[in-house]
Amino acid sequence: MTQEKLMKGRMIRARVLFGITFIALLIFIGLYVDETHRVQETYRAQFNTCMNNVSSSIDSYLNAEGDLPLRYRRILSDVSNANCFSFLITAMTDEQKKAVNELYTCMLKYPEQMQETERLKEMQTAATDMGENLDKGFEEAQKIVDSINKKGS
């Protein structure tokens, strides 16, 4: 074989190998994007579940006759879970993430104010709306946060 035929054979092999590698890369990218989308859907579903749990925990707190500290800790736990999932969701805006985080912080730092019946009812409405992916739920949560007296109890 001549040198020219060897070089042509190597070039053909290189092009075929490049084509196979390029196709494999495209498939990998497609699978990665699909899995990322699927994970985001899972995070959103978990966030919605946590917000629905917040709503039912508040209902349990408001209808309870005893053991209110335990029921309040359950609400706090549900809001904490929702807060964690909110930071994993890329589709949420920074303002929405901030509203959920501040709501959790207020529940943690100002339990006396957050345990007021009217405030809990407002929070239940906000949690229900956030669980249904409505933007007004985040605005309602921000209003609750803004209504907290952060200098006193």
Domain of residue 139 covers 40-146
The count of structural domains within the chain is: 1
Let me know if residue 126 belongs to a domain. Answer: yes
Let me know if residue 35 belongs to a domain. Answer: no
Let me know if residue 32 belongs to a domain. Answer: no
- 34: Cα separation from own chain's centroid: 18
CATH of residue 111: 1.20.120
Let me know if residue 87 belongs to a domain. Answer: yes
Let me know if residue 53 belongs to a domain. Answer: yes
pTM: 0.81
Decide: helix, strand or coil at residue 82: helix
Let me know if residue 73 belongs to a domain. Answer: yes
CA distance 135 to 129: 8
Q: Is the dihedral of CA 105, 108, 114, 120 positive or negative?
A: positive
pLDDT digits (tens), the chain, 153 positions: 688 888 999 999 999 999 999 999 999 999 999 999 999 999 999 999 999 999 999 988 888 777 888 899 999 999 999 999 999 999 898 999 999 999 999 999 998 888 888 989 999 999 999 988 888 989 999 999 998 887 765
